[in-house]
Amino acid sequence: MKSVLTTCAVLAVLTFTVGCGGSSSVQGPGGKKLTLTKPMDTSIKQGDTASVKVSITREKFSDPVTIKFDTLPKGVEVGDSDNKIAASDKDRTFTLKAAADAALVDNHEATVSAEAPDGTKVTEKFKISVKAK
């Protein structure tokens, strides 16, 4: 019975760890630290939208943080005009829009970066698939 419980506990930890997004941290001047947790991999249909959540952790500063998406698949763009996570927030959901003729791709590697006002910047990769409408 004890080994069954131990096995279940190990599987629960592994499931939790695999399900979590990756994160990266960078140190800035004055002991500032910025951590970015990448969005979950996502799928979007041509002509549709998808939401992606970006989370950050700030240490020793409380300024707004600029979020930038790069290397998105051809025909996919960020639909939000404001690209900041407010000083009072730890995360934000962004909308990705796929054009009707967006390139069909599976597990395209895109990047998201978070940058503090002093230039401290951290980047993570995530995957986007674009499917036919």
Whether 3 shows a pLDDT value over 50: the answer reads no
Cβ count near 59 (within 10 Å) = 13
Give the pLDDT confidence of 53-62 residue by residue, as tens digits.
Answer: 999 999 999 9
Tokens 């401290």 identify what position? Answer: 120
Give the pLDDT confidence of 60-99 residue by residue, as tens digits.
Answer: 999 999 999 999 999 999 998 899 999 999 999 999 999 9
Tell me the pLDDT band of 24, cut-offs 50, 70 and 90.
very high
Q: What is the DSSP letter of 29?
A: G
| Domain covering 22-131: architecture | Sandwich (2.60)
**Domain extents in the chain:** 22-131
DSSP E strands in the chain: the ranges are 23-27, 33-37, 42-45, 49-59, 65-70, 76-78, 84-85, 91-98, 105-115, 121-131
The mean pLDDT of the chain is 87
